[in-house]
C-alpha cells in the first residue's frame, strides 16, 4: 500500500504558497497538484471552495509495432530516427469534485 503522506504534504505546501499568490492576483481557480510524483497519477484543482480531482491511468508502454503503425511520419523517417518517434495518446481520466470544509 502506498503511503499518502507525501501527497498530503505536497498539496498542503502548494495550497499555502499558491493561495497567497491567488489572493493577491484575484484568482479563484488554480492547480494544487499535477502528477508530480509517479505514485499519485492525478491532478488536483481548486475552484474557490471546491476541489476537482482527476485520476489518470498509469503510463503504458508502446510496442514497436504500435508506435510505427499508428503514425504515417514514422514510415517516412530515416531508419535511425524510427525508434524515437512516438504517437501522442490521451490517457483517460476520471474526475471527482468535492467541497472544502
**CATH classification at residue 72:** 3.30.750
Task: Reply yes or no on whether the pLDDT at 101 is more than 80.
Answer: no
The per-residue pLDDT for 1 is 84
Task: Reply yes or no on whether the pLDDT at 29 is more than 80.
Answer: yes
The model's pTM: 0.59
What total number of domains does the chain contain? 1
User: Which residue range forms the structural domain that includes residue 31?
Assistant: 5-99
Question: Phi first, then psi: what are they for 83, rounded to 5°?
Answer: -75, -15
Q: What is the pLDDT of residues 48-93, one digit of tens each?
A: 999 999 999 876 665 655 555 444 444 444 444 444 445 555 556 6
In SS3 terms, the chain reads as: CCCCHHHHHHHHHHHHHHHHHHHHHCCCEEEEEECCCCCCCEEEEEECCEEEEEEECCCCCCCHHHHHHCCHHHHHCCHHHHHHCCCCCCCCEEEEEEECC
Mean pLDDT of the chain: 76
Amino acid at each position: 500500500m502506498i503511503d499518502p503522506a507525501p501527497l498530503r504534504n505536497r498539496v498542503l505546501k502548494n495550497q499555502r504558497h499558491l493561495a497567497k499568490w491567488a489572493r493577491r492576483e484575484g484568482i479563484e481557480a488554480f492547480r494544487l497538484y499535477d502528477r508530480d510524483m509517479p505514485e499519485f497519477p492525478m491532478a488536483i484543482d481548486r475552484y474557490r471552495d471546491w476541489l476537482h480531482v482527476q485520476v489518470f491511468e498509469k503510463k503504458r508502454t508502446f510496442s514497436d509495432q504500435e508506435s510505427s503503425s499508428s503514425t504515417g511520419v514514422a514510415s517516412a523517417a530515416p531508419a535511425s530516427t524510427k525508434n524515437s518517434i512516438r504517437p501522442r495518446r490521451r490517457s483517460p481520466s476520471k474526475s471527482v469534485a468535492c467541497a472544502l470544509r
